[in-house]
Amino acid sequence: MDTSFASRLGIEHPLIQAPMSGSTPPALVAAVSNAGALGSLGAGYLEPAAILEQAAQIRALGDRPYAIGLFVLPDEFEADMAAVAKAREQLDALMAREGLDVRTSLPPRWAPRFSEQFAALCEARPAVAMFAFGVIAPAQLRELHRRGIYVIGTATTVAEACAWADAGADAVSMQGAEAGGHRGTFLHEAEDAMIGLFALLPLTVQAMAGYAREVPVIAAGGIMDGRGMLAAEALGAAASQLGTAFLGCPECSAAEAWKRDLPRAGEHQVTTIRGFSGRAARGLHNRFVEAMPQATGLPYPVLNALTAPLQRAAAEAGRGDLLSEWCGQAAGLVRPQPAAELVARLMHEYRLARRSLAH
């Protein structure tokens, strides 16, 4: 295994736990990092004070490198209030039909201010900063580098990878169509950027080879075991980023109903969903997806904020079928076990797969 990428970050294994916002509490991040991989705090939904608080908790649990992931968004959003009213009516009716004693409300803000989240990230000073939904400003990237923070940009096409490389990112994380959760697409329509990971990797590696500096390529999407990590490496990946594989860990804060549904998930049940957040995301086709229209006219993060009360109530009621059960294409391969054990198992599988191919 090429260990240059891992060595640069100060980790033992070229393995990244994806920054899944809402599901990566400090206990999970620290457990992964302490096991020699790169744990990642998904901070897309967190206010600045919470980012700093959770970063402090991660540091208290160990002194290993870790990452913080953010969504690149405007600080302010304008919403079509007529569409908001219609969506609230639909969501309230759904919750009433499903017996959930909660209704929508208008939040003070649709989402945290990215500029304030970014400032908190800089203050927390993780080893790595990861971004999705767009490219950060040149001044922001310079500030991260001034603080010694390694920058990874999420891309779903070669053009997006080049946009990050042109901006000065240290590495690009290529999100194949198999990946779970929100699509990181920002230069294309989401439907046009649903490219299989094993086609996307060699195309991106070829494009990155044209740069005067080295730009490592990280593989993300559908990788659930050491065999998948080896396959990604064979296609030029410097590391593998796994998200769904860690959802079954006891340290993960995903709802228990969601965790229970994953091992039973068929690959054909993973679909592209807009009805939860207004942005294309990959997860299980469940009761909510069937009941709510995919196009409410509301973008992210407006719809995401409106569905938040439903999600909390559904989690408390054990209703996985009403949750945004984000997951990758191979969710059925999830293996519930402590995060440190999973990291060790993944690396053991990787070594076994490599030895088997050598004979």
pLDDT recorded at residue 358: 82
Q: Which two tokens stand for residue 221?
A: 């999407």
Ranges in the chain, pLDDT < 70: 1-2, 294-296
Neighbours of 163 (CB within 10 A): 18
pLDDT recorded at residue 3: 72
Q: Which two tokens stand for residue 244?
A: 């769904």
pLDDT recorded at residue 305: 96
pLDDT recorded at residue 2: 61
Domain coordinates of the chain in residue numbers? 1-73+111-248+338-359, 79-110+252-332
Amino acid at 341: E
**Contact at 8 Å (CB) between 328 and 270?**
yes
Distance CA(178)–CA(156), nearest Å, equals 11
**Contact at 8 Å (CB) between 282 and 309?**
no
pLDDT recorded at residue 292: 84
CATH number of 1-73+111-248+338-359: 3.20.20.70
pLDDT recorded at residue 359: 77
Amino acid at 112: P
pLDDT recorded at residue 294: 64
